[in-house]
Structure formats: C-alpha cells, structure tokens
Amino acid sequence: MTEASSITCPFCGVANALPLTNDRCASCGGKIEDGKPHSARHEDGERRYQQEGFSASWCGISLFIVGVLTAAIVIGVPMVVPALDFEGSAGMLVSIPVWFLSGMLVGLISPGKTFLEPVVATFLVAMPTAFMLFQGQTVKTMPAFMYVLMSALGVLFSLIGSYAGERVQVGPVPKHSD
C-alpha cells in the first residue's frame, strides 16, 4: 500500500498535508487520529464539541481579553461618557454581557476546543471586579452575596459564550449521505 500524502478532517472536511501538527486539523483544530480507524459517525458527531485538554497559553490570552474588555467597559466608558455610571449593581449588570462576549470572542479565535479557558479567566477577573464594585457602591447598592451570585452568573454566561463561539467557528455538522 502507498502512503497517503494528505488526510481529510472528519469534522470540517478539509484535506490536511501529512504529517499533522499535534495531530490536529489546520483549519478547525480538531484532533485527527490517523493511525486508528474512526468510530461510528454518530460518535464523531458527539465528540465534535468536546474539549480534549486545557491550554495554559489560551487561558492567558483569555485572561487578557476578559480583563481588558471588563476594564474598558466597566471603568473606561464611564470616564469617557460621564452620564454613564457603572458603579455597584449597574457595573455587575454590565459585566455579565461583557463576559459573555469575551467568552464568545475567545471561542471564535482559538484553535481547537477551548471552553474552560475563558471560564477560568472570567472567574479570575470576576473576583476583583465584584470586590471593586462592592467597595465603590454608593447609590446603586446590593448585598455582598448578590455580587457573588452575579459573578457566578457571569462565569456561566462566559461558558455559554465560549460554547457559542466554538459552534460558530467549527460550523454546522457536515451532512453524510448514507
């Protein structure tokens, strides 16, 4: 038998030149196991959106993105537009969609499947954000446990955003003609 010079990704259908870098597709980042026969098609579809590992580098990138977006919107926008005041509960209400969008952004730009990295980054950013907003509240006040609950909600929305970003990045499930 002759060796093939390329392998087709079972997830996105792109032909990849051999040898593969880290056993991953160059287009979608899906893990390609070229030495083993593939399992049934429905199992490939079920594994399509599963994360295979944790990337510290993408966690750092996520931390940077989440931190910059949170600081820009919650702290920076009120400095530029004084009519907007995101102190206290208003700042937490604005932070949740910011964390969703940052999770979605990381999901869109990261290769492979990165669901946990934006969640960890959002958790690390949510703690000081909630503490800062709690300490700085004057008019729009909430009890401390509500800051904890809203931070947890923001972390959950970050997970939903990263999953949505990955779904957009990978695209629809390819149709197989049986």
Q: Are residues 85 and 24 in the same domain?
A: no
Of 111, 94, 114, give the one whose Cα is nearest residue 103. 114
What pTM, to 2 d.p., does this model score?
0.71
Helices (H), the chain: 41-47, 56-70, 77-80, 89-109, 116-135, 144-170
Q: Specify the amino acid at residue 84.
A: L
pLDDT at 38: 43
pLDDT digits (tens, 9 = 90+) for 71-92: 999 999 999 998 888 888 899 9
Tell me which residue range forms the domain holding 109: 56-170
35: pLDDT strictly greater than 50: no
Two tokens, residue 93: 């209400």
Task: Name, of 14-23, 40-49, 80-89, the range with top average pLDDT.
Answer: 80-89
Instruction: Flag whether 42 is in a domain.
Output: no
pLDDT at 149: 95
Distance CA(157)–CA(125), nearest Å, equals 14
Instruction: Flag whether 47 is in a domain.
Output: no
Q: Are residues 74 and 26 in the same domain?
A: no
Question: Using alpha carbons only, how large is the chain's radius of gyration in Å?
Answer: 21
Q: Are residues 31 and 60 in the same domain?
A: no
Question: What average pLDDT does the segment 18-31 reach?
Answer: 76
Two tokens, residue 15: 């032909």
Q: Are residues 66 and 32 in the same domain?
A: no
Q: Are residues 32 and 60 in the same domain?
A: no
pLDDT at 50: 67
Q: Are residues 27 and 61 in the same domain?
A: no
Q: Specify the amino acid at residue 129.
A: T
Instruction: Flag whether 48 is in a domain.
Output: no
pLDDT at 29: 75
Instruction: Flag whether 45 is in a domain.
Output: no
Residue partners of 129: CB distance under 8 A and separation at least 6: 70, 74, 91, 92, 95, 151
**94/37: higher pLDDT:** 94
Tally of domains in the chain = 2
* Model confidence band, residue 114 (pLDDT cutoffs 50, 70, 90): confident
The answer to whether 140 and 84 are in contact (CB under 8 A) is no
Instruction: Flag whether 49 is in a domain.
Output: no
Q: Are residues 135 and 164 in the same domain?
A: yes
Q: Are residues 65 and 150 in the same domain?
A: yes
Tally of CB atoms within 10 A around 111: 16
Instruction: Flag whether 176 is in a domain.
Output: no
Q: Are residues 94 and 131 in the same domain?
A: yes
Q: Are residues 21 and 91 in the same domain?
A: no
Instruction: Flag whether 51 is in a domain.
Output: no
Instruction: Flag whether 18 is in a domain.
Output: yes
The answer to whether 59 and 121 are in contact (CB under 8 A) is yes
Q: Are residues 61 and 11 in the same domain?
A: no
Q: Are residues 113 and 155 in the same domain?
A: yes
